[in-house]
Amino acid sequence: MATLIDPDFRARLRALNEKYAAGIPALMLAITQASGRCDSEGPRLEPLTQLHRALHAVAGSAATFGFAALGQECRRIEQLVRAMLNAPELAVADWPAVQAQVAALLDWAARDVGATHFSV
């Protein structure tokens, strides 16, 4: 009788998870740099779009590789940035609150990115 589960599946999945985990600092750096552009240039279309893309990349992949809380928090902030992109006239007023949330995300990720819940 043939087995339905590839015996190497778990090992390959673990390797993929470890590879993703090793890449998290680069993903956080992309968010840091995009946020920094919003700080230095103002929350204009291009820097906000860059921040949105960086957050979206993590939001879309983190849970798949065992980082659900990271993905959820990136998705939540991504939606805030998307709202700013959709209402550019509010972006300048909204940026300080969103920037604080990005900073909290980055601080948390530096401390305990593998946690099951986001905490400030």
- Contact between 64 and 90 under an 8 Å Cβ cutoff? The reply is no
Contact (CB, 8 A) for 68 and 17:
no
pLDDT for the residue numbered 10: 84
Let me know: does 67 contact 57? Beta carbons within 8 Å: no
Q: Mapping DSSP to helix (H, G, I), strand (E, B) and coil, where does residue 113 land?
A: coil
Residue 71 is predicted with a pLDDT of 97
Closest CA to 78 of 107, 94, 54: 54
Intervals of the chain under pLDDT 50: 1
86 φ/ψ angles, rounded to the nearest 5 degrees: -80, -15
